[in-house]
Amino acid sequence: MCEYINISEFIDYLKQNELVIVDKKLVQFEQPDIKGLLIKRSVTFKELLNANILPIKSRQSLVNWINKGIIREETVFIGKDGKKRIAGTEIKRLIKTYYEN
């Protein structure tokens, strides 16, 4: 048996809950690897970009975010491996900003 829903009620439900229907191709991130980043004390720029948890795709975008203060400059440092790293606390703050709002 097939059940039908009232389209008006469905549309109202979407509006009330601020939901939208979009093509899968438009979804920016599907299942980011947040858990892996949360347990690290710091991550390299490459690790952060490869995790696809932020709406940026390049190293230059990360640098721009640092310059604009989106990523706090005091949380960026050069690790023992010689690579630029971002403190884990800053990663947690960014994740909270982008996924809990």
Task: Determine, yes or no, domain membership for 17.
Answer: no
Task: Determine, yes or no, domain membership for 77.
Answer: yes
Mean pLDDT of the 7-14 span: 88
Task: Determine, yes or no, domain membership for 16.
Answer: no
Q: What's residue 29's pLDDT? A: 47
Question: What are the C-alpha distances in Å from 4 to residues 7, 8, 14, 56, 94?
Answer: 9, 12, 17, 41, 41
Q: What's residue 15's pLDDT? A: 86
Task: Determine, yes or no, domain membership for 13.
Answer: no
Residues spanned by the domain of 89: 28-99
Task: Determine, yes or no, domain membership for 86.
Answer: yes
Task: Determine, yes or no, domain membership for 1.
Answer: no
* 32-60 residue pLDDT tens: 567 777 888 999 999 999 888 888 889 99
CA–CA separation, 76 and 89 (whole Å): 11
More confident residue, 25 or 45: 45
Q: Number of folded domains in the chain?
A: 1
Q: DSSP 3-state assignment of 8?
A: helix
Under 8 Å between Cβ of 21 and 61: no
Q: What's residue 26's pLDDT? A: 53
Task: Determine, yes or no, domain membership for 38.
Answer: yes
The predicted model scores a pTM of 0.64
Task: Determine, yes or no, domain membership for 18.
Answer: no
* 56-85 residue pLDDT tens: 889 999 999 999 999 999 999 999 999 999
